Structure 1
Amino acid sequence: MPFEVLKDRNYALYLGGNTVSWIGTWMQRTAIGWLSWELTESASWVGAIVLAQYLPLVFIAPIFGVLIDRMDRRRYAIACLLLQILLNTGLFVIHALGLLNIYALLACCVLLGIGNAAYQPIRLTLIHDIAPPALLTQAISLNAVVFNVTRVVGPAIGGFSIGAFGVGGTFLINTFTFLGTLFALLVVHIRPSVRNTAAGSVLFQLLEGLRYIKSVPKFLELLILSVAIAAFGRGVLELLPAFAGGVYDRGSSGLATLMAVAGVGGVVAGVLLSGTSSRRSLVILITFGCALQGLFVMLLGLSTLFVLAVLSIFGIAAMSTLASIGMQAVLQADLDSAFRGRVVSIWGMTTVAGPAFGASILGALAQVTGLPAASILSGVVCTIVCIVVMWRSHFFPLGRDSTL
Structure 2
Amino acid sequence: MATSSKQPQVMLRAFGSRNFRLYYIGQSISLIGTSMNQVATSWLVYRLTDSAWLLGLVGFASQIPTLLLIPLGGIIADRWNRHRILLVTQILGMLQSCILTWLALSGIIDVWQIALLGMLQGSINAFDIPTRQAFLPETVSKENLGNAIALYSSLVSVSVMVGPAIAGILIAAVGTGLCFLIDSISYIAVILALLAMRLTSKKAVIATRKPLEELKASFSYAFSFLPIRSVVIGSFLVCCIWGFYLALGPIFAKEVLHGGPNTFGFLMTASSFGTLIGGIYLSRHQNARELGKILAFGTAILGVSLFGFALSQLLWLSLFSIFAAGFGFILQIIAGRTVLQLLVTDENRGQITGLYVMASTGAVPIGNLVAGTLASSIGAANTVILGASLCIAGSLFFIRQISAFRNQIIRSS
TM-score range (shorter-chain normalised) is over 0.9
The answer for the alignment partner of 2:180 in structure 1 is: 171
Of all paired residues, the percent bearing the same amino acid is 27
Contact 1:390 1:396 in 2 (8 A): no
The root-mean-square deviation of aligned C-alpha atoms, in Å, is 2.2
- Output the CA distance in 2 between the equivalents of 1:180 and 1:26: 15
The answer for the alignment partner of 2:235 in structure 1 is: 226
SS at 2:202's partner residue?
coil
Q: 293, 297, 300: which is aligned to 2:302?
A: 293
User: Where has structure 1 moved over 6 Å in runs of 4 or more?
Assistant: 401-404
The answer for the alignment partner of 2:83 in structure 1 is: 74
- Output the CA distance in 2 between the equivalents of 1:93 and 1:159: 20
The answer for the alignment partner of 1:369 in structure 2 is: 378
In structure 2, stretches of 5+ residues that fail to align are 1-9
- After superposition, give the CA deviation of every residue in 1:95-132 in whole Å (9 maximum; x if it has no partner): 12222111221112111211222211211111222223
The answer for the alignment partner of 1:378 in structure 2 is: 387
1:248 aligns with 2:266: no
The answer for the alignment partner of 1:159 in structure 2 is: 168
- Output the CA distance in 2 between the equivalents of 1:130 and 1:202: 27
- Output the CA distance in 2 between the equivalents of 1:56 and 1:50: 11
Structure 1 pair 277/200, CA: closer, same or farther in 2 (3 Å)?
A: closer
- Output the CA distance in 1 between the equivalents of 2:64 and 2:155: 24
**157-166 vs 19-28, which moves further:** 157-166
1:40 aligns with 2:49: yes
The answer for the alignment partner of 2:314 in structure 1 is: 305
1:100-249 equivalence runs, <5 A: 100-249=109-258
The answer for the alignment partner of 2:13 in structure 1 is: 4
SS at 1:211's partner residue?
helix
Q: What TM-score comes out, normalization by structure 1 length?
A: 0.93
In structure 1, stretches of 5+ residues that fail to align are none
Contact 1:58 1:353 in 2 (8 A): yes
Structure 1 pair 402/63, CA: closer, same or farther in 2 (3 Å)?
A: closer
Structure 1 pair 161/322, CA: closer, same or farther in 2 (3 Å)?
A: farther
1:279 aligns with 2:278: no
SS at 1:198's partner residue?
coil
- After superposition, give the CA deviation of every residue in 1:50-99 in whole Å (9 maximum; x if it has no partner): 11221111111220110122222222221111111111101111112222
Contact 1:235 1:359 in 2 (8 A): yes
How far apart are residue 255 of structure 1 and its match? 0.9
- After superposition, give the CA deviation of every residue in 1:118-165 in whole Å (9 maximum; x if it has no partner): 211211111222223553343233223323443444334332332344
- Output the CA distance in 1 between the equivalents of 2:303 and 2:184: 35
- Output the CA distance in 1 between the equivalents of 2:16 and 2:173: 36
How far apart are residue 282 of structure 1 and its match? 4.4
**357-366 vs 244-253, which moves further:** 244-253
What amino acid sits opposite 1:35 in the alignment? L
What amino acid sits opposite 1:140 in the alignment? I
Contact 1:145 1:270 in 2 (8 A): yes
Query: Across the two proteins, how many residue pairs are aligned to each other?
Result: 402
- After superposition, give the CA deviation of every residue in 1:173-208 in whole Å (9 maximum; x if it has no partner): 000111111001111012223322122222221121
The answer for the alignment partner of 2:338 in structure 1 is: 329
Q: 17, 24, 29: which is aligned to 1:15?
A: 24
Contact 1:27 1:157 in 2 (8 A): yes
What amino acid sits opposite 1:368 in the alignment? S
